[in-house]
Amino acid sequence: MKQPLIAGNWKMNGSRKSAIDLIASILTEAYQFPKIEMAVFPPFVYLSQTEELLTGSGVNWGAQNASPHKNGAYTGEISLEMLKDFNCKYVLVGHSERRRQFGDSPVIVAEKFAAAMRAGFTPVLCVGETEEQHDRGLTWQVIQEQLEVVFELKDNHSSLRDIVIAYEPVWAIGTGKSASPEEAQEVHLAIRNRLGEYDWEIASKIRIIYGGSVTPENIADLMAMPDIDGALVGGASLDAKKFLEIGRKCNSLY
């Protein structure tokens, strides 16, 4: 059985003090949720404190982005090698905010995904349609295109075991308007079936998590769906009480 993943994407929020306080609060209870995996994605500059506080705790951490380049004249970028210094397990790839605001094109997302795999990270590939695409009935077409980066690596099937897919409808991110559990399940199942066209055994093990206005109030209904294997939580992950409540509810369902 897949261990559910509850991951908190902090985005560009907080301070050194609030990051430390948030992790300390998470640690007061996270050990009580042995059936799930919890992870946080702090801003790069707090990865050092994150590593220090979380090492050995069972709570994992990752980076919100990474350069596909090894090193060189890329002002402002952070390489995967640098992230290794902080023992990050995960890297978010293709978050809709990166795609829309920072020009992460499908080619760049593919490069980042492949580089993260090569470097031994577990990429969390974010896919999802905009409201307009949703309303025009283009959801599956958009997601299929965004999933192509995975299939570019299909010759190396076994490495696909170590990926996470996050279905994050753009219209649900930060809006308070989550996809319904049934709506999300339909997309998650389609993603799993598509992965299964290459290798069903691996597809059945890959965690497909949902993101978009996840709260303590809606997590149980989402997690009741057979193909929802966890959540990528934005806003609610900045509040230790809410993040822990999401973890607690998820843990109690398994």
Cα-based distances in Å from 90 to 38, 95, 235:
12, 13, 19
d(CA 92, CA 181): 23
Using rule CB under 6 A, residue 212 touches ligand PEP: yes
Least Å from the CB of residue 173 to ligand PEP: 4
Pairing mode of beta strands 5-9, 122-127: unpaired
Shorter beta-carbon distance to ligand PEP: residue 50 or 237: 237
Residue from 16, 67, 58 nearest 40 by CA: 58
Per CB under 6 A, the segment of 64-72, 147-155, 187-195, 207-215 that binds ligand PEP is: 207-215
User: Is there binding between residue 247 and ligand PEP (CB under 6 A)?
Assistant: no
Q: Considering beta carbons, is residue 74 or 102 the nearer one to ligand PEP?
A: 102
Part of the chain binding ligand PEP (CB under 6 A), chosen from 108-116, 137-145, 156-164, 208-216: 208-216
Residue 235 in the binding site for ligand PEP (CB under 6 A): yes
State which of residues 83, 142, 214, 240 lies at the interface with ligand PEP (CB under 6 A): 214
**Residues 10, 62: Cα–Cα separation, whole Å:** 11
Q: What residues are annotated to the active site? A: 95, 168
Of residues 90 through 109, those in contact with ligand PEP by CB under 6 A are: none
Q: With b meaning 16 or more CB within 10 Å and e meaning fewer, what string describes 125-160?
A: bbbbbbeebbeeeebeebbeebbebbeebeeeeeeb
Please give the Cα distance from 220 to 253 (Å, whole number). Answer: 8
Among 232, 244, 246, 250, binds ligand PEP (CB under 6 A): 232
- Nearer Cβ to ligand PEP (144/215): 215
Q: By the criterion CB under 6 A, which residues form the site for ligand PEP? A: 9, 168, 173-174, 211-214, 232-236
